[in-house]
């Protein structure tokens, strides 16, 4: 091997060629024996790149759940089941729509607490990434202050 001024060494190409020729003649069954060494190196690099790409695809496919209508309908059914089993939500009318892991809750609940409980319950279902809580609570009919004063005065007068 030659030594360069930087101290690094460069492999002797002639030596590598002799090793390659010795190996290919000793192993007559080698299908690569007719290729020169640089082509074998390029073939090894290409195979390594293909393997890395396949491993990456497999990891990404395993990491993300299958998205689609069937997956969304399973999420909807699971969320409806969880909401139906919660005692706080008895008497609530909740519609559930799931799209790509995002669950939209709409309808009417008895209180703000029930709406919050419904959103928390939906988040416990596997596959739910976010909950869009559009639940409404019944509005309390407020009597204006003027009407209360008039009613109090009329009740106090004999």
Q: What is the mean pLDDT of residues 154-158?
A: 59
CATH topology of domain 69-136: 3.30.1340
Mean pLDDT of 122-151: 76
CA distance linking residue 124 with residue 127, whole number of Å: 9
d(CA 2, CA 11): 8
The pLDDT of residue 58 is 79
pLDDT tens readout for residues 62-116: 655 556 667 788 889 999 988 888 888 888 889 999 988 899 999 999 888 989 9
* 13-44 per-position pLDDT tens digit: 555 566 666 555 555 556 666 777 777 788 88
Q: What is the radius of gyration, based on Cα positions, of the chain?
A: 36
Q: CA 104, CA 133: separation in Å to the nearest integer? A: 6
Average pLDDT over residues 126-149: 75
pLDDT at 139: 73
Tell me, what's the pLDDT at 4? Answer: 47
- List, in order, residues 6 or more apart from 77 with CB less than 8 Å away: none
Q: Where do you find CATH 3.30.1340 in the chain?
A: 69-136
Residue 127, C-beta contacts closer than 8 angstroms, at least 6 positions apart = 65, 71, 74, 75, 78, 101
């Amino acid at each position: 091997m030659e030594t360069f001024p930087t101290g690094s060494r460069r492999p002797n190409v002639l030596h590598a060629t002799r090793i390659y020729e010795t190996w290919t003649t000793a192993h007559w069954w080698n299908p690569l024996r007719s290729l020169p060494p640089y082509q074998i190196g390029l073939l090894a690099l290409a195979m390594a790149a293909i393997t890395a790409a396949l491993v990456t695809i497999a990891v990404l496919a395993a990491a993300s759940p299958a998205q689609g209508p069937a997956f969304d309908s399973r999420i909807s059914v699971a969320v409806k089941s969880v909401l139906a089993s919660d005692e706080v939500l008895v008497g609530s009318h909740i519609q559930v729509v799931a799209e790509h892991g995002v669950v939209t809750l709409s309808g009417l609940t008895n209180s703000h607490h029930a709406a919050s409980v419904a959103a928390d319950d939906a988040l416990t279902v596997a596959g739910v990434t976010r909950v869009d809580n559009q639940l409404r609570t019944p509005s309390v009919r407020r009597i204006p202050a003027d009407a209360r004063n008039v009613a109090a005065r009329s009740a106090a007068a004999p």
